[in-house]
Amino acid sequence: MLKFCAMRKIGIYVQVPFCQTKCTYCNFHTGVVAKARFAPYVDAVCSEIGERQKFYLEAGVSLLASLREAVADTVYIGGGTPSLLEAADLTRIMDAIRENVSCNLEEVTLEADPETVEPEKADAWVKAGINRVSFGLQSFVDEELKAAGRMHCREDIYKAMPILRAAGIRNISFDLIAGLPHQTAESWKRSLEELAALAPEHVSVYVLEVDEGSRLGRELLQGGARYSAGAVPSEDRMAEFYETAQRELRAEGYHHYEISNWAKPGFESKHNLKYWRREPYLGFGAGAHSFSGTERWANAHDAAAYVEAIGQRRLAIEQHEKVSAEQALEEELFLGLRQLDGIDLTRIENEYGVMLAGRFEMLASAGLVEREGSVVRLAEEKLSISNEVFVELLR
Ligand code: SF4
């Protein structure tokens, strides 16, 4: 008898924690380092990919057999600013993935900053198999970019786009931030209009979140004028900016499929959907997170410590936990509700043996969520206050 075995698919994430400078609002574990450190870091990432089974075994991560044989269909090289790497180093990473993991790659994304895009580099990216570029634009307004400590200006965006298109990149995503210092309703609308004119296939809009781990956050708490903390729009203003983006992007034919993400039909991020759908992914590099379906773990985020550990042929794991049924249920709700298609309560109730309808009734009567049969989704006009909905859900 022929035994049918559904092949599991996984995503591969590669973290490149290097930037040219530190943006004022950034609290990520990324750093500005000498270029000489790039190649040894890439060596370490390639070793981790090649020897992952041994590393996992020694670090106590039990990878299910189904995952050991899984086929990677997405790769996401993020950071940091991975486009800072030499094209040859990115090619080495892609070669290491293809040589050591079963691959049927459909979507291979590189995060890039506009000022790092050059014709030779872009051609080499495409040769290496990269078919999607996620651009950290944040704004089209020079005053806002400068205040945020970004390295690029508006003109760099207009230089980079034709280079990428000429190289053959047919899937480009733009990131914008709503709430940058000096942003006004008018300047925000201008950024959205300029974005629409360049017609990227995908758009992410993030509402600025500053915490004390960033220079801007510290200035907001302690006072000062160096990072324009006094010019950060109010939370209500930011919510209005988000709602403007909802309207403008809809009018331009973008489908809103996740709280922060819009796509032209068929261009939803296959890789990021795995995170929201709780599908497995393996992360490589300093600070990279992985999820096997039953366990989550994260590598040491200090790049030097990561390289040193791999050099000693061990994996420095910073967090490692088995996901309990209770955690898994919470993830189903919070990650699921981020998607505008919503969650299927009947499926979740059956899978986890819980009753959820009562929990959502109150939210539905407050107009925070909508219910259609067994599907529950965030109400579209409440997306700008989704955090409040999540807080209510936890009560
Ligand atoms: S480019 Fe991104 S990761 Fe690097 S400092 Fe700026 S916000 Fe942080």
CA of 346 to the centre of ligand 1 (A): 40
When pLDDT is averaged across residues 62-84 and rounded to a whole number, the result is 90
Check: CB of residue 266 under 8 Å from CB of residue 253: no
Report which protein residue has its CA nearest ligand 1's atom 3. 80
Which residue, 226, 225, 98, 121, is CA-closest to 169? 121
Residue-wise pLDDT for 38-54, tens only, equals 999 999 999 999 999 99
- Residue 112 to residues 198, 253, 338, Cα–Cα distance (Å): 16, 24, 25
Tell me the C-alpha distance between 273 and 106, whole Å. 13
Residue 342 half-sphere exposure toward CB, CA atoms < 13 A: 18
When pLDDT is averaged across residues 227-233 and rounded to a whole number, the result is 91
Tell me the C-alpha distance between 151 and 158, whole Å. 15
* pLDDT class of 7 with cuts at 50, 70, 90: low
Residue type, 38: F
Residues with CB under 6 A from ligand 1: 19, 22-23, 26, 28, 30, 79-81, 136
CA of 215 to the centre of ligand 1 (A): 12
Task: Give the DSSP letter of residue 210.
Answer: -
Whether residue 80 has a cis bond before it, omega within 30° of 0: yes
Give per-residue burial for 338-350: e unless 16+ CB within 10 Å, then b. Answer: bbbebbbbeebee
CA of 175 to the centre of ligand 1 (A): 12
15, 18, 19, 146: residue to mutate for ligand 1 pocket, most atoms within 8 A of CB? 19
Quote the distance between the C-alpha of residue 243 and its chain's center.
21
Residue-wise pLDDT for 304-335, tens only, equals 999 999 999 999 899 999 999 999 999 999 99
Report which protein residue has its CA nearest ligand 1's atom 2. 80
Q: Annotate 13-41 with DSSP letters as a single string.
A: EEEE-B-SS--TT--SS-B---GGGHHHH
20, 32, 81, 85: residue to mutate for ligand 1 pocket, most atoms within 8 A of CB? 81
CA of 19 to the centre of ligand 1 (A): 6
CA of 133 to the centre of ligand 1 (A): 16
pLDDT exceeds cutoff 90 at 388? no
Check: CB of residue 245 under 8 Å from CB of residue 176: yes
How are the residues of the chain apportioned to helix, strand and coil, as percentages rounded to the nearest 5? Answer: 45, 20, 30
* Mean of the per-residue pLDDT values of the chain: 93
Residue-wise pLDDT for 135-164, tens only, equals 999 999 999 999 999 999 999 999 999 999
Residue type, 97: I
Q: What is the pTM of this model?
A: 0.95
Q: State which ligand 1 atom lies nearest to the alpha carbon of 149.
A: 6
Sheet strand arrangement including 369-372: 343-344, 375-378, 369-372
The pLDDT value recorded for residue 298 is 96
User: What stretches of the chain show up as alpha helix (H) in DSSP?
Assistant: 38-50, 52-59, 65-68, 87-100, 119-128, 142-147, 154-167, 185-198, 215-222, 235-251, 270-276, 303-311, 325-338, 345-352, 357-365, 386-394
Residue-wise pLDDT for 261-302, tens only, equals 999 999 999 999 999 999 999 999 999 999 999 999 999 999
